[in-house]
Amino acid sequence: MHRRTLFAMGLATLATPPLAAPTPYRLAGTGATITYTFTLNGTPIKGTLPVNRADLSVNLDTLTASTADVTADVRQAETGLILATQALKSASVLDAEAFPLARFQSTRVILGPDGRISNGAAIEGQLTLRDITRPVRFDAGLFRPAGTAPDDLTTLIVALTTRIDRHSFGVSGYPDLVDPIVTIDIDAEISAAV
């Protein structure tokens, strides 16, 4: 009886297709843009920051095993307002010269109710600004571009959003003019690295 059970288990293992390995993805096209929104003297101000490096791995068999490690150079931050941009990069805010890189490293992927990285999904991880690292949680979406076949996963669209308290990262300059809460949105097109 014991041999039959082991034999049946062996056959079942051979009949089961192997799980696909995680697929590395790279930024596609124009890459990714981080858009941040802060309130300056009661007025919402938007700024942008390009992503300069992204190590992404999507595990299509086990989506919760997907990972992201993203870096942006805060010296390239822009607001569209010269004085606001200069203040943003100053020593009392981002201190871009002393701490030029912002980094996000994922630690956990939480799937939405439908078992996908969309519709209620989240990505948790560690965000580093000004050399201060804090946990953050992004609402997450991972989608195929419109018009692509359901099995065509060579290009994907990533959408992430979160809100942080800038003071928890030491970004405390101009407290009388700038609210503490900053919204961060990341939109990226990624392609499978083949």
Q: What are residue 28's DSSP bridge partners? A: none
Among 16-25, 110-119, 143-152, 176-185, the range scoring the smallest mean pLDDT is 16-25
What would the pLDDT profile of 92-109 be if each residue is shown by its tens digit?
A: 999 999 999 999 999 999
Among 21-25, 134-138, 139-143, the range scoring the smallest mean pLDDT is 21-25
What would the pLDDT profile of 15-68 be if each residue is shown by its tens digit?
A: 333 445 789 999 887 778 899 999 999 999 999 998 988 899 998 889 999 999
Instruction: Indicate the domain borders of the chain.
Output: 20-192
Instruction: Give 20-192's CATH code, choosing from 2.40.128.110, 2.60.40.420, 3.20.20.140, 2.40.33.10.
Output: 2.40.128.110
What would the pLDDT profile of 163-186 be if each residue is shown by its tens digit?
A: 999 999 999 999 999 999 999 999
Cβ burial, residue 77 (10 Å; 0-12/13-18/19+) = buried
DSSP three-state, residue 83: helix
Cβ burial, residue 187 (10 Å; 0-12/13-18/19+) = middle
Would you say residue 152 has pLDDT above 60? yes
What is the helix (H) or strand (E) element at residue 158, kind and residue range? strand 155-165
Pick from 78, 59, 76, 80: nearest CA to 153: 59
**pTM of the predicted protein model:** 0.84
Angle, vertex CA 72, rays to CA 70 and CA 75, nearest 5: 170
What pLDDT, on a 0 to 100 scale, did the predictor assign at position 20?
Answer: 59
Would you say residue 14 has pLDDT above 70? no
What pLDDT, on a 0 to 100 scale, did the predictor assign at position 9?
Answer: 33
